[in-house]
A and B are shown apart, each in its own frame.
Chain A
Amino acid sequence: MNLETPMPAVGRSRWTGLGAFIGTELRVQLHEGLAIATSIVVQAVFLVFVAVLAQGYLPFTLVGAIVFSVFTIGQRIQNEAAWIRIDHKLHELYHASPMTPGAYFLGLSVGVLLAYVGPILVLVAAAVYFIAFTAAAALVLVAVLAAEFIFTASVGYMISTWFRDMRSIWPYSTLFFNLFGVLPPVFYPLGLFPVSLQPVALLLPTSGGTALAERAAGILPLTTGEILLASISLVVSTGAAFIGAVYWARRISRER
C-alpha cells in the first residue's frame, strides 16, 4: 500500500461490522410484530388439518412445520434484501464502506433469523414435549435447522439480486419455496412419497433434513444408506449454497 494513502479510519476484516449490522436488521425487523406473530399461521393450519384428518401423522407434521418455518425465513431474507436494494438503495451505503459484501449478506440474514426465531421456538418446544426428543435427537434437529437456515438464506439472498423490481421476484420465489418446502415430504412422512422418488426427497435439503430429524426422534425408519445420502446431501448443498452466496454477494456488489 502506498504510504501517502490516508489509512481508513478503522481496520477492516472480512467480518467488520457484522455484529452491528445484525443488530440493525434485527431492530428493523422487530417493528413487524404482526408479521412475526403470523409467520407460523400456515404451519399451524396444516397442523390443524392433520389433527382432524390423520392424527397419527401429527408428529411428522410438527417436525415438518419447524423445518418449513426455518426454510421460509429465506423468503423473508430475499424480500428484505430486495427491498433494501431496489426501494431504499441502502445496499450502496454498505457496499461502499469497510463492510464486505459477505458480512452484509450474513448480517442481514442473521438479523432476520433472530427476529423470526421466537414463533419457531414455540413449535420446537411443542415438538420436544409431544414427541419426547432425546438430547441427541434435539441436537440433530438443531444441526438440521442450522443447515436449513444457511441454505435458505443463501438461496434467498441470491434470488434477491437477480431482479430489477419487486414484482418480478414474487412468482419465482413462490415457485421455489413451494416446490422445495411444501411439495416434497416435509409436512408428511417420507413413506407416503412415491417410492421411486424417495431418493430425490432425501437429496432435497428440506425433505432430507426433515427425514434426518424424524429419524433422530425415532418416528421415521431410515436405512444407513438413506441417512448417509440425506446427511451428505444436506452438508454439500448447504456448503455449496453458502460459498456460492458469499461469492455472489461479492460479485454483485458491483453491478454490471
Chain B
Amino acid sequence: MTPDALRADSVRKTYRGRSGPAIEALTGVSLRLSRAERVALLGRNGAGKTTFLRIASTLLAPTSGEVEIFGHDAIADPESVRPYLAVVPQEGKPFMHLTPREQAYTYLRARGFTRETSKSRTEHALEQMGLTEVADRLSITLSGGQRQRTMVATVISTEAPLLFLDEPTIGMDPFARRSVWDSFRELTRKGSTILLTTHYLDEAEALSQRLYIIDRGRLLAEGTADDMKRSVGGTLRVSVAPGNGVAEQLATFGPLVRDGDTVHVITSPGRIQEILQLAAHSNLTASVGPVTLEEAFLRVVGRSINDES
C-alpha cells in the first residue's frame, strides 16, 4: 500500500508564553491526505489553521502527536521530508529587492534545480499568476496582491510533491484568485498534493476536493462541500431577519441555523410559500436561496466564519 502524502494523528499544540496563560491552539487534530489530493482547512481567525500547517510542514514542533509525510516520520526526522515540501507562509513577502522573476528563479536554483528547469518553470509560474507584466519590477514597487502572487508563483514553480499554502489568496482580486485556483488544479493533475487554509467559503468550495472545518483547535467536520451542504438537512434556505422572535414557528418548517439576528430555515421547496407568508405577516424580511457552505459552517461551528467576536 502506498503511504498517504500526509497523515497527522492527535496533533496537539500548547503555546506556553513567558507571560500570559498557555494557549491550547490544537487539541488533537488527525487528518489524512492521499496523493494528488487538494484539501482545504477551513476555519475562522484563530481556529488553529496556521499552527497546524506549520507543524505539518516541519516548521513548528507539536506538543504531542504524530505526523507522517509519504510514510516518513516528520516529527522525529524533519530534515528527511523537507525536500518533498514547499510552503507559502501566512503573510509572507518576497525579497523587496528582487523582481518576481528573480525571486522565483533564485528560489528554484537554491532548491537545486538546473538553470534551464528553473528558467522555464519560472516563466510558466509567472504567466499563470498573471505577473508577466510586472516580472521585472522590484517587489518593493508592487502592490500587496502582486507580492502575494509572487510568493505563490515562487512556491508553485517548485512543483513539490506536497505543498502547504496558508491563506494563499489573501489580498488578491477575484481574477487573481481564480488563476491561483487554476494553478492548484494543474499541480494536483501533475501529481502534487496540496493542503491549503482559507477562511473564504467560496475558495474552499471551488478548490478543494475535500475539506476540513476547524474551530478552536479541533476538526469539527470532514467531507466534500456537497457532503457538508447535504448534512445541513435540506436543499433550500429561507433567511428571516430578524428571525429570533418567530424562531419557534420557523422551526416547524425544518432545521434552523442562526447567524446573529438572522435565522435560516433549511427546508424543501414545497414549504417556502408558507414561510414567506409567515415572515410577511410579522413584517420581517425574508430571502430564499440554495443551501451553501455558509449554513453548513454555521451549523457545525455555531458562528459565522466572518463573525469577529
Taking Cβ atoms with an 8 Å cutoff, the residues of A that contact B are: 2, 4-6, 8-12, 16-17, 20-21, 23-24, 27-28, 31-32, 84, 87-90, 92-100, 107, 250, 253-256
Contacts and interface: CB of A to CB of B under 8 A. Distances in A.
B102 A27 contact: yes
A88 B98 CA distance: 13
B161 A8 contact: yes
A242 B203 CA distance: 46
A46 B186 CA distance: 60
A97 B111 contact: yes
Contacts of B89: 89, 92-93
B71 interface: yes
Output the residue of B58, B82, B102, B154 with the most chain A CB within 10 A.
B82
Contact of B110 (A9, A20, A27): A20
Contacts of A5: 3, 70-72
Given A28-B98, A96-B87, A253-B78, 11 more contacts: A2-B71, A10-B111, A10-B112, A16-B111, A17-B111, A23-B106, A31-B97, A87-B93, A95-B59, A96-B82, A254-B78
Contacts of A28: 95, 97-98
Contacts of A17: 109-112
Contact of A95 (B72, B82, B154, B161): B82
Given A2-B71, A17-B112, A254-B61, A96 B86 contact: yes
Q: Top 8 nearest A-B pairs by Cβ distance? A: A8-B83, A20-B109, A17-B110, A10-B112, A31-B97, A89-B92, A98-B83, A89-B89
Given A9-B113, A27-B102, A255 B59 contact: yes
B94 A254 contact: no
Contacts of B160: 9
B157 to A, nearest CB: 11
Contacts of B97: 27-28, 31-32
Given A12-B83, A28-B95, A89-B89, A97 B110 contact: yes
25 contacts: A2-B71, A4-B3, A5-B72, A8-B83, A10-B83, A10-B111, A10-B112, A11-B112, A17-B109, A17-B112, A20-B110, A21-B106, A23-B106, A28-B97, A88-B93, A89-B90, A92-B54, A92-B57, A96-B87, A97-B83, A97-B85, A97-B110, A253-B58, A254-B58, A254-B78
B164 interface: yes
Interface residues of B, number: 46
B193 to A, nearest CB: 10
Contacts, number: 133
Interface of B: 2-3, 54, 57-61, 70-72, 78-79, 82-95, 97-98, 102, 106-107, 109-113, 138, 154-155, 158-161, 164, 191
A6 B161 contact: yes
A105 to B, nearest CB: 13
A32 to B, nearest CB: 8
Contacts of A16: 111-112
Nearest to B71: A2
Contacts of B112: 9-12, 16-17, 98-99
B142 to A, nearest CB: 14
A99 B110 contact: yes
A90 B161 CA distance: 20
A81 to B, nearest CB: 13
A24 B98 contact: yes
Output the residue of B2, B107, B155 with the most chain A CB within 10 A.
B107
Contact of A2 (B3, B54, B88): B3
A84 B110 CA distance: 16
A97 B95 contact: no
A92 B54 CA distance: 9
A255 B155 contact: no
A24 B71 contact: no
B159 A24 contact: no
A6 B79 contact: no
B106 A24 contact: yes
Contacts of A10: 83, 111-113
Contact of B154 (A27, A32, A93): A93
A20 B83 CA distance: 16
B211 to A, nearest CB: 23
A95 B111 CA distance: 10
A48 to B, nearest CB: 32
A17 B191 CA distance: 25
Output the residue of A4, A9, A94 with the most chain B CB within 10 A.
A9
A8 B111 CA distance: 10
Nearest to A11: B112
A139 B242 CA distance: 83
Nearest to A10: B112
Output the residue of A28, A84, A98, A250 with the most chain B CB within 10 A.
A98
